Amino acid sequence: MSLPYLPFTRPSIDEATIAAVADVLRSGWITSGPKVREFEQKLSEMFAGRPVRVLNSATGGMEIAMALAGVGPGDEVITTPLSWVATGNVILRAGGRPVFVDIEADTRNIDLSLAEAAITKRTRAIMPVDLAGLPVDRDRLNALAKRHKIRVVEDAAQSMGAHWGGRLIGSFGDLVSISFHANKNITSSEGGCLVLNDAAEARQCELHRLQGVERFADGNMDATLAGGKYNLTDIAACIGLGQLPHMQQFTARRRQLAMRYFELFDRSLGCTLPVVDLQQSNWHMFQVLLPEGVARGDFIAGMHAAGIGIGVHYPAMHLFTLYRELGFREGQFPLAERVGRSIVTLPLFPAMQDSDVERVCKAMTAVLRVPARRAV
């Protein structure tokens, strides 16, 4: 009998949360309402009392953060090319220009030395990405921003439950955007949040997330800025509320599974494994680099044939057509390009069994030992 298909990720949603969602549906109030306010309060408590506003995506959070940071035409935002394309797109949508710098070979995160060298008089902000939930060095990052008087917009989409220096990501820093997408460490099905600095920024975020409209007790309203529509529903907030109590358990299980990968992985295959960080990373993903010469498409097909799902997170975005048209080209960021063409995401989610990790490792050995899997 064949084994069931093993996806690269799957959310864990308990029956109590499913029942609570049914209650919300029966309540008749399914858009933004009391569950959204409760979710924001719980997140604020988690993030050291900082104001938090939930949104329909972390992308929406970054778009609003661009506005709060004052990014506009002629401004530059320094970031990494090794991320989901939303990281660069929000800069373009604000009218700014992304300034990409290469990554560190070991962490695969933005190289802060290169970032500092790229700062000009047009630099408005720096946007680091915690790839796979491994935090960028927040001490160096925040010192850099303070030294050059620029804003930090953390693309912490993958960072829920990660720590730096014993502090939860989101509990300190400047503007922090976190995702609750279906494949994240906790989910609200779709959604995210923006962690802010003070009540004034929180109020501005509220205006940006719902058309810039202010309502008054007498029934009148006003629009004070050209906002968008980024609000989260009570249905999604209810799922998020059900997830929060499990966050530590989910993170601990992810770390156990990551350790199992390190124990069982066949080093002779020539793959490059991630940094071993079992304290600060939340192990959102377990990513390896295939050896040079291995055709990634063939590898994915081979693993799929073995009943195992593989993700790709991410190709280097500066090589996409949109960014090539802005003048970016191959060869500018060799480390990001090397990672982007070879990276694969292996299955990792809390409901996995240790035996699933063994299955993945055995399948990888079988697939990568086949000579035909090598690219010509």
Of 225, 245, 265, which residue constitutes the final position of a domain? 245
User: Quick one: 208 and 345 in the same domain?
Assistant: no
Does 146 qualify as catalytic in the annotation? no
- Environment class of residue 257 by beta-carbon count within 10 Å: exposed (0-12), middle (13-18) or buried (19+)? buried
User: Quick one: 85 and 60 in the same domain?
Assistant: yes
User: Quick one: 292 and 333 in the same domain?
Assistant: yes
Number of domains in the chain: 2
* CATH code assigned at 323: 3.90.1150.10
**Model confidence at 253: pLDDT above 70:** yes
**Model confidence at 374: pLDDT above 80:** no
User: Quick one: 24 and 144 in the same domain?
Assistant: yes
**Model confidence at 34: pLDDT above 80:** yes
- Paired residues of 175 in beta bridges: 153
Share of the chain above pLDDT 70, in %: 98
Instruction: Report cis status (omega within 30 of 0) of the bond before 314.
Output: yes
Of 189, 220, 245, which residue constitutes the final position of a domain? 245
Q: Which pTM was predicted? A: 0.96
Q: Measure the CA–CA gap between 69 and 75, rounded to whole angstroms.
A: 11
User: Quick one: 182 and 265 in the same domain?
Assistant: no
Residue 319 in any domain: the answer is yes
Query: What pLDDT is stored for residue 354 in this prediction?
Result: 98
Which one is catalytic: 121, 184, 229, 362?
184
Share of the chain above pLDDT 90, in %: 97
User: Quick one: 109 and 155 in the same domain?
Assistant: yes
User: Quick one: 90 and 228 in the same domain?
Assistant: yes
Q: What letter would DSSP give residue 297?
A: H
- Environment class of residue 224 by beta-carbon count within 10 Å: exposed (0-12), middle (13-18) or buried (19+)? exposed
Give, in order, the Cα–Cα distances in Å from 176 to each of 243, 246, 332.
20, 21, 28
pLDDT digits (tens, 9 = 90+) for 177-232: 999 999 999 999 999 999 999 999 999 999 999 999 999 999 999 999 999 999 99
Give the pLDDT band (50/70/90) at residue 375.
very low
The mean pLDDT of 25-47, rounded to a whole number, is 97
User: Quick one: 220 and 101 in the same domain?
Assistant: yes
* Least confident piece of the model among 73-87, 243-257, 295-309, 362-376: 362-376
- Its domain, for residue 111, covers 15-245
Q: Measure the CA–CA gap between 118 and 75, rounded to whole angstroms.
A: 13
Residue 6 in any domain: the answer is no
pLDDT digits (tens, 9 = 90+) for 93-119: 999 999 999 999 999 999 999 999 999
User: Quick one: 138 and 35 in the same domain?
Assistant: yes
CB atoms within 10 A of CB 35: 27
Tell me the residue length of the chain: 376
* CATH code assigned at 185: 3.40.640.10
- Paired residues of 287 in beta bridges: 345
Of 245, 275, 300, which residue constitutes the final position of a domain? 245
Query: What pLDDT is stored for residue 279 in this prediction?
Result: 87
Query: Which residue in the block uniquely carries the two structure tokens 């959310």?
Result: 11
Residue 8 in any domain: the answer is no
Check if the beta carbon of residue 314 is closer than 8 Å to that of residue 287. Answer: no
Query: What pLDDT is stored for residue 2 in this prediction?
Result: 81
The mean pLDDT of 274-283, rounded to a whole number, is 94
pLDDT digits (tens, 9 = 90+) for 126-178: 999 999 999 999 999 999 999 999 999 999 999 999 999 999 999 999 999 99
Residue 283 in any domain: the answer is yes
**Model confidence at 376: pLDDT above 50:** no
Give the pLDDT band (50/70/90) at residue 371.
low
The C-alpha R_g of the chain, in whole angstroms, comes to 21
Query: What pLDDT is stored for residue 1 in this prediction?
Result: 61
Residue 5 in any domain: the answer is no
Residue 120 in any domain: the answer is yes
User: Quick one: 111 and 191 in the same domain?
Assistant: yes
User: Quick one: 154 and 212 in the same domain?
Assistant: yes
Residue 85 in any domain: the answer is yes
pLDDT digits (tens, 9 = 90+) for 319-349: 999 999 999 999 999 999 999 999 999 999 9
Q: Measure the CA–CA gap between 163 and 147, rounded to whole angstroms.
A: 23
Mean pLDDT across the chain, nearest whole number?
Answer: 97
The candidate with the shortest Cα–Cα distance to 52, out of 268, 209, 263, is 209
User: Quick one: 233 and 268 in the same domain?
Assistant: no
Residue 3 in any domain: the answer is no
